[in-house]
Chain A
Amino acid sequence: MLKYVLKRLLYMIPILLGVTLITFLLFNVVGGDPALQAAGRYATPEQVQLVKAELGLDRGLPAQYLFFVKQIVSFDFGRSWSTKQTISKMIMDGVGASLSLTIPAFFLTVFLSISIALLIAYFRGTFVDRAIFVICLAAISLSSLVYILYMQYYFSFQLGLFPISGWSPDWLERWEYLTLPIFIFVSISLGGSVIFYRTIFMDEIFQDYVRTARAKGLSHTAVLFKHILRNALIPIITIVVIEMPALILGSLLLESYFGIPGLGGMIFQALQSADFPVIKAMTFISAFLYMIFQLISDVLYVVVDPKVQLK
C-alpha cells in the first residue's frame, strides 16, 4: 500500500510539470507579451520595460519557465496584477466563501439524487423510470446560465424572497445570501446526478448476489436498501471524493452572479481583467488538488472493498 502511494506521488511529478508547461506555453508564449497586459492599456514603452524587469520577463523563455516552476515549488505564486495582493492570501480568503456555498449544495444534491435514483431502481423498466429519466435529460438540456438568470429573476426580483446579491463575513448571517445560490446549484446538478446514480444502481441490480438475496425470500425493498445500496456505496464514496477539488474551487458562474467572494468569483475576475498570475496559479492548484483527491479516492476504494488490489 505504502509503495503504491509513493509510486503514485512520484507519477504526479511529470503530470504537474506538464501542467506548468501548458500554462506557461499558453500565457507566456501564445498569449503575447504578458508585460503589455500587466502594464495596462495606456502604459508608455518605458513603463512596459519597467514592468518587464519587475516581473522577470526580460529574461529568455527557459529562464522564465524555471522561474515559474521555482515559484510553484515554493508555493509562492506572487501577486495579482489587478488587486496587488499576494495570491496565497487571496486563496486563503476565498476558500471559506466557496466551501460555504458548495459543501451544503453538493451534499444536498447527492442525498436527493441517491433517493431519486433508488426510487427509479425500484420502478425500473416502468413508465415512472422512463418519465424521470426524460425529465432529467430535459433538466441537463438547459444552460446553467439560464437557470441562474430565471431563478434569480423570479425568486429575488419578482417575489422578493431573497436578496439579489450580497455577502456577509459572518458565518451565520451569510445564509440569507446563500440560500438561493445553493438552491440553484442543486437544480442545475440534480438531473445529471440522478442519471449517474441510476447507472450505478442499475449495474448492481443485475448482480448474482441480488438474485440470491431475492431467492432466499428477502423482500424487494430489503434487497434494495440493505444489499444494493451498501454495495453501491463504494462507487459513491469514490465519486464524492473526486468531486472535492471542484467544491474547493467553488462555482464560477454562481459566485460571480451573486457576489460571493470565493475562488470561483476570483477566477472570473482574473479572466475579466487578464490577471495572468492568478489564472496560472489557480490552474496549477486545481490540477494538484485533483490529483491528490484522485489518489485518496483510489486508496479509499481499497479500504472499503478488500477485494480490490492496488498495482
Chain B
Amino acid sequence: MKGVKNNSIWLDAFFKLKKNKLAFTCLIIIIFYFAAGLLCALGVLFPHYALTNNDRSYLPPSPEDWFGTDIFGRDVLARSFHGIKISLTVGLAGTGLSVVIGSIFGAIAGYFGKVTDDLIVWLYTTLDTIPYILLLAGMSFVLGGGLGTLCFAIGITSWVNLCRLIRAEFMKHREKEYVHAATAIGSSHFRKIFVHIFPNVFHIIIINFSLGFIGAIKSEVILSYLGLGVEPGTPSWGLMITDARLELSRGVWWGLAAASALMFILVLAFNLFTDALREALDPKLRGKL
C-alpha cells in the first residue's frame, strides 16, 4: 500500500498539469528547446554556426538569413540556436550542483540539529548577507572564465534558499511518527534521511530546481556583461546580448533580437510551467519560494 500512497501526489500533480493547457504547451516548448540544444550539440542542427565570411558582415535579415549575420558574417540564427546549448548546460549543471548542495546541507542541518545545524546556518546566513550578484561575480572572478567555472560558480552560490526550506522540513519531519517507527526498527541515520524523509520533501526540490534553472540562465547573461562569462567566441546568449551594445549604435538590431527572443520564450515557458508545477505539487507554497 505504501507505493500507492507515495505515487498519488505525483500522479495527482500529473493529472492537474495535463488539464492545464497553458502549462502543457510550456512543457512542449521546453522539450523542443532541449531537443534543439541536443541536436546543436551533436552537430545535426546548424553545423555551420562558426563559419566566418567577412564579405557578409552585418547583413540585415533576408529570406536566406532570417536573422541576418554578425560582424564576422556568421549566421545569427544559427548562433542563437547554439546559445540554447550553452544556456541549458549552465541551467542543468549550475542548478544541479546547487540543488545537491542545498538539499544535502539542509537535510543534515535539519535532521541532526545542534552543532551541525549551527554551523550550516552560520554558513548560509553568511553567504546570504552578501548580495547575490557580488558573491557570484566575486566567485567567477577568482575562478576565471569559462563554461565549467561559470556553472560551478552559480552552483556554489545559489543553494541557500533551498537549504533553508529543506532544513525547516527536516526539522518538522524528524519528530514525526514514521521516523520514530523507523528508529524503532533500527534504521540508520542515512536510511532515515534518504529513504524515509527525502521522498516527502522531493516536491520542494523539483520546484526549486525549476526556479534555479531560470536564475542560472539569467545569471549567464549578467556575468557575460561583466566579462566573467564563457570564453569569447562561444555562441552564448549572454555574449550576443553584450555585443549588441556596440552593434545597436550601428543600427544592427538583429543579433539582440534573435538572442533575446529565444531566451525570452524559454524563460517565460519555464516561469509559467514552474507556476503550474507549484500549484499542482503544493498549493500552500505558492509565492513563497
- A interface with B by C-beta (< 8 Å): 14-15, 18-19, 22-23, 26-27, 30-32, 134, 137-138, 140-146, 149-150, 153, 157, 195-196, 198-199, 202, 245-246, 249, 252-253, 257, 267-268, 271-272, 274, 279, 282-283, 286-287, 290-291
Contact yes or no, A290 B129, CB < 8 A: yes
Contact yes or no, B130 A271, CB < 8 A: no
Q: Which of B135, B214, B245 contacts A149 (CB 8 A)?
A: B245
- A143 and B241 in contact (CB under 8 A), knowing A27-B138, A253-B222, A268-B226? yes
What is the 8 Å Cβ interface bit string for chain B, positions 217-230, against chain A (1 contact, 0 not)? 01001100111100
Q: Which residues of A contact B288 (CB under 8 A)?
A: 199
Q: Which residues of A contact B214 (CB under 8 A)?
A: 141
Contact yes or no, B256 A146, CB < 8 A: yes
Interface membership of B242, Cβ < 8 A: yes
Q: Which residues of B contact A271 (CB under 8 A)?
A: 137, 141, 226-228
| Smallest Cβ-Cβ distance to B286: which chain A residue | A199
Contact yes or no, A286 B256, CB < 8 A: no
- Majority-rule SS of A interface residues: helix
Greatest chain A CB density within 10 A among B143, B226, B253 is at: B226
Interface membership of B63, Cβ < 8 A: no
Contact yes or no, A149 B287, CB < 8 A: no
In angstroms, how far is the closest chain B Cβ from the Cβ of A14?
A: 6
Q: Which of A23, A137, A153, A272 contacts B138 (CB 8 A)?
A: A23
Q: Which residues of A contact B125 (CB under 8 A)?
A: 15, 18
Q: Which of A14, A134, A198, A283 contacts B130 (CB 8 A)?
A: A283
Contact yes or no, A286 B264, CB < 8 A: no
Contact yes or no, B142 A31, CB < 8 A: yes
- A149 and B226 in contact (CB under 8 A), knowing A27-B142, A157-B249? no
Q: Which residues of A contact B130 (CB under 8 A)?
A: 19, 22, 283, 286-287, 290
Q: Which of A141, A150, A195, A282 contacts B287 (CB 8 A)?
A: A195
- Give the docked Cα–Cα distance between A249 and B135 (Å): 14
Q: Which residues of A contact B264 (CB under 8 A)?
A: 138, 141-142, 146
- A157 and B287 in contact (CB under 8 A), knowing A141-B264, A141-B271? no
Q: Which residues of A contact B287 (CB under 8 A)?
A: 195-196, 198-199, 202
Interface membership of B131, Cβ < 8 A: yes
Q: Which residues of A contact B286 (CB under 8 A)?
A: 199
- B interface with A by C-beta (< 8 Å): 122-123, 125-127, 129-131, 133-135, 137-139, 141-143, 214, 218, 221-222, 225-228, 241-242, 244-245, 248-249, 253, 256, 260, 263-264, 267-268, 271-272, 275, 286-288
- Give the docked Cα–Cα distance between A287 and B139 (Å): 16
Contact yes or no, B260 A146, CB < 8 A: yes
Q: Which residues of A contact B226 (CB under 8 A)?
A: 252, 268, 271-272
Contact yes or no, B271 A15, CB < 8 A: no
| Smallest Cβ-Cβ distance to B218: which chain A residue | A143
Q: Which of A32, A198, A202, A246 contacts B131 (CB 8 A)?
A: A246
Contact yes or no, A149 B134, CB < 8 A: no
- Give the docked Cα–Cα distance between A274 and B260 (Å): 29
Q: Which residues of A contact B271 (CB under 8 A)?
A: 137, 140-141
- Give the docked Cα–Cα distance between A145 and B218 (Å): 9
Greatest chain A CB density within 10 A among B142, B222, B241, B260 is at: B142
Contact yes or no, A145 B225, CB < 8 A: yes
In angstroms, how far is the closest chain B Cβ from the Cβ of A243?
A: 11
In angstroms, how far is the closest chain A Cβ from the Cβ of B215?
A: 11
Contact yes or no, B222 A145, CB < 8 A: yes
Contact yes or no, B129 A287, CB < 8 A: yes
- Give the docked Cα–Cα distance between A15 and B175 (Å): 29
In angstroms, how far is the closest chain B Cβ from the Cβ of A10?
A: 14
- Give the docked Cα–Cα distance between A234 and B99 (Å): 32
Contact yes or no, A157 B126, CB < 8 A: no
Contact yes or no, B134 A282, CB < 8 A: yes
Greatest chain A CB density within 10 A among B133, B138, B286 is at: B138
| Smallest Cβ-Cβ distance to A199: which chain B residue | B287
- Give the docked Cα–Cα distance between A138 and B222 (Å): 19
Closest 9 CB pairs of A and B: A18-B126, A199-B287, A31-B142, A141-B268, A287-B129, A141-B267, A146-B260, A137-B271, A143-B221
Contact yes or no, A31 B141, CB < 8 A: yes
- A26 and B142 in contact (CB under 8 A), knowing A14-B122, A134-B272? yes
Contact yes or no, B123 A18, CB < 8 A: yes
| Smallest Cβ-Cβ distance to B265: which chain A residue | A141
Contact yes or no, A137 B268, CB < 8 A: yes
Subset of 21 A-B contacts with CB under 8 Å: A15-B122, A15-B126, A140-B271, A141-B214, A143-B222, A143-B263, A146-B263, A150-B256, A153-B253, A196-B287, A199-B287, A199-B288, A202-B287, A246-B131, A267-B134, A271-B137, A271-B228, A283-B130, A283-B135, A283-B138, A287-B129
Contact yes or no, B245 A137, CB < 8 A: no
- A149 and B228 in contact (CB under 8 A), knowing A22-B127, A137-B268? no
Q: Which residues of B contact A142 (CB under 8 A)?
A: 260, 264, 267
| Smallest Cβ-Cβ distance to A294: which chain B residue | B129
Greatest chain B CB density within 10 A among A14, A149, A202, A252 is at: A149
